Amino acid sequence: MKPTRPASGADPTWDLAVCEALIQELWEIRESMRLGEARAAEWLHEVAPSHAASAVNLAHYLALRRADLRQLQERLARLGLSSLGRAETHVMANLDKVLGILHRLVGRPWKALSEDEPAGSRRGPALLEAHAAALFGRAPAERRVRVMVTLPSQAAVDERLVDDLVTAGMDVARINCAHDAADAWRAMSANVRRAARAAGRPVRILMDLGGPKLRTGPVAGTQDVAKIKPAKDELGRVTQPGRLGLRPAGSPGAVEGAELAIGVDATWLAALEAGARIELVDARGSRRRLTVVVCAGEGVLVECKRSVYITTDTLLGLPRKAAPAAVTRVHDLPVRPGALVLHRGDRLHLVREGLGHGPLAPAKGRRSVPATIACTLPEALAHARKGERICFDDGRIGGVVRRRTATRLEIDITHAREAGERLLADKGINLPDTKLELPALSTQDLEDLQAVAACADMVGLSFAQSAADVRELRRRLVELGAGHLGMVLKIETRRGFEHLPEMLMAALASPATGVMIARGDLAVEVGYERLAEVQEEILWACEAAHVPVIWATQVLETLAKTGLPSRAEITDAAMSERAECVMLNKGPHILDAMRTLDDILRRMATHQSKKRPLMRALKAWASLPELPAARP
């Protein structure tokens, strides 16, 4: 039955002219998508045959999103048609479906155009799931999203910890190659493989290369005070003595059972026996006594029932002995990390090398020297320009480049808390306005690839910023005979986000590829207020390319660290159901975080798939009485 022109004042939903105008507009959009595919021919040429349909679908999607479609979507929705808003995996097939319906509404003939459609409404989502399975392994039966856990250094030596993670549901183990070394990575990998075999299920391993991460250099520290304090109950009774380890001066070894260990004279130490009493006057002038509990090898464990404060001026003595060896000085106290305290309005020098320090008083005839700190990639300084922003420690401290010289950047601090912020060594530095021409693979990364190629199932490319970066990693893996490994692009800079389409095309040459939304650095780079928008756009583009996504950074972080989640992070964890994998960072309560995340993901799987709501029965209200019938 053909639609008729409505009477005056009627709803124009079925107006022939409206339908014809929509048909014309959709044909124009379709043609632009075909042109987009043609323009992307050079990119499409390097894609693996198994990913060809995905690359073409991405080209169609990018062409579709070049225009503002909001008014068109509203007009389509009024007709009860798809508004093209949930068709990322099969964008042309969805548009053709709408065109076909409109043709039937106006009485025009319609012929299927499937030869132009790289993926349909069934094949598109199936391709995404197949690619996710190829990279991460198959998802558990009751949740679509995999759980990735960053392994702590302890995982290299603690088999039980790895067993517990696998038992709790870890699907992917992440090894951060910015920490530890190749021997530790190999041990972690072996422990994961062993635990997975024991559990009877595969667990994939992602190894993240360190990449050209810009960090603060060392800061002059101060020698700390060793404080040994017994545990007491609410009535002040000692429930557990304080424990201190003694070891030969200069020895790096730990002492089993001790909270911390300090160095003493080796000859003096050798004379100790279990039960011996050590006397001292501590840093507060209080007389104290330590009791030797265990002598094992070079180390000695001592206990105290009262708090003791020890510095390098403290002398430890053995009573009733007159020999010189009866007394020893204390060595090797822990060093308190140095820090710069910065306030708004302060000046900071970021230099190429050297030990960081606070402001220095002026020498005679010279100006004072502002607080100074080095950076781990001095070559980055040459790219910064006056007026560009710079951020430290995940944006806790912000500034503007005031001046650049051959040896330093002079920075005016513009963002810090009223009381000031502490800037320590090894904290991240972001230059969101600066075009950093740095290779994604550092010299250290190239060295680390040897171990990565032998241990990993997939390799994380940190600070990926261009298609050239992706091709270079791919080339290096092929040279190492590891071309079969999956590749994960970590999007953590503004430039990486802006070049995501070309990087996706280059990555589709790999047998398996994925994207990690590294929301920590990315938020600093694009601005916290824009992170949600950028995150959405990354999810859409990756879905169009049938590329699985890892939702990363600070997921249930408070829970993992303290045992108690915040309300906001529970909501964030629920939103992570839109990705194919969620990453948890290490923490003392990581097993609790894993169980909570597993429960959230299982619940959300019945309510949402990507950005499409699922209308399962609302069981919470099933027991309510039915509403009474309305009266006539």
Q: How would you write 293-327 as a 3-class SS string?
A: EEEECCEEEEEECCCEEECCCCEEECCCCCCHHHE
**Statement to judge: residues 293 and 350 lie in one domain:** no
Strands 581-584 and 549-552: parallel
Look at residue 331 and give its three-state secondary structure: strand
Q: How many CA atoms lie within 13 A of 349 on its CB side?
A: 19
Q: For residue 242, how far is the Cα from the chain centroid?
A: 37
End-to-end, the C-alpha distance of the chain in Å comes to 34
Domain of 260, CATH number, reads 2.40.33.10
CA atoms of 408 and 399, how far apart (whole Å): 15
Rg (CA), the chain: 31
423, 404 Cβ separation under 8 angstroms: no
515: closest CA among 483, 482, 492?
492
Domain of 470, CATH number, reads 3.20.20.60
Which pLDDT does position 618 carry in this prediction? 56
Provide the token pair at 196: 């997975």
Residue 43 domain boundaries = 12-121
**Statement to judge: residues 166 and 184 lie in one domain:** yes
Quick one: 290 exposed, middle or buried, by C-beta within 10 A (0-12, 13-18, 19+)?
buried
Residue 534: inside a domain, yes or no?
yes
**Statement to judge: residues 481 and 572 lie in one domain:** yes
Which pLDDT does position 1 carry in this prediction? 44
Residue 127: inside a domain, yes or no?
no
Residue 285: inside a domain, yes or no?
yes
**Statement to judge: residues 448 and 577 lie in one domain:** yes
End residue of a domain, out of 407, 430, 453: 430
Provide the token pair at 242: 């304080």
542: closest CA among 587, 493, 590, 578?
578
CA separation (Å) from 202 to 120, 134, 317? Answer: 31, 12, 57
Phi then psi for residue 308, to 5 deg, are: -130, 135
CA atoms of 524 and 395, how far apart (whole Å): 6
The structural domain count of the chain equals 4
Residue 618: inside a domain, yes or no?
no
Task: Spell out the residues 6+ positions from residue 250 whose beta carbon is closer than 8 angstroms to its own.
Answer: 263, 331, 332
**Statement to judge: residues 517 and 575 lie in one domain:** yes
Look at residue 437 and give its three-state secondary structure: coil
End residue of a domain, out of 336, 360, 377: 336
Residue 217: inside a domain, yes or no?
no
Strands 299-304 and 287-296: antiparallel
Residue 360: inside a domain, yes or no?
yes
Is the Cα torsion angle 604, 606, 607, 613 positive or negative in sign? positive
Q: For residue 41, how far is the Cα from the chain centroid?
A: 33
Q: For residue 73, how far is the Cα from the chain centroid?
A: 35
Query: Which amino acid appears at position 441 of this protein?
Result: L
Residue 571: inside a domain, yes or no?
yes
**Statement to judge: residues 450 and 558 lie in one domain:** yes
276, 318 Cβ separation under 8 angstroms: yes
**Statement to judge: residues 403 and 552 lie in one domain:** no
**Statement to judge: residues 61 and 24 lie in one domain:** yes
CA atoms of 276 and 510, how far apart (whole Å): 66
Tracing tokens 């948890």 back to the chain, one arrives at 584
Q: What is the DSSP string of 73-139?
A: HHHHHHTT---STT-GGGHHHHHHHHHHHHHHHTT------GGG-S--TTHHHHHHHHHHHHHH-PP
Provide the token pair at 161: 């910890």
CA separation (Å) from 114 to 53, 93, 119, 120? Answer: 13, 7, 9, 8
- Run of H or E including 447: helix 443-455
65, 127 Cβ separation under 8 angstroms: no
What is the reported pTM? 0.80
End residue of a domain, out of 319, 336, 353: 336
CA atoms of 44 and 373, how far apart (whole Å): 46
**Statement to judge: residues 578 and 511 lie in one domain:** yes
Chain length of the chain: 632
Q: Give me the average pLDDT of each 10-residue run along the chain (632 residues).
A: 46 75 96 94 92 96 92 92 91 96 92 92 95 95 92 94 95 95 96 96 96 90 82 89 93 84 91 92 93 90 94 86 72 84 95 88 71 92 94 94 94 95 93 88 94 96 94 96 96 93 95 95 91 93 96 92 90 91 93 92 81 60 56 52
**Statement to judge: residues 593 and 444 lie in one domain:** yes
**Statement to judge: residues 509 and 592 lie in one domain:** yes
Which pLDDT does position 480 carry in this prediction? 95
**Statement to judge: residues 389 and 500 lie in one domain:** no
Residue 621: inside a domain, yes or no?
no
Which pLDDT does position 459 carry in this prediction? 98
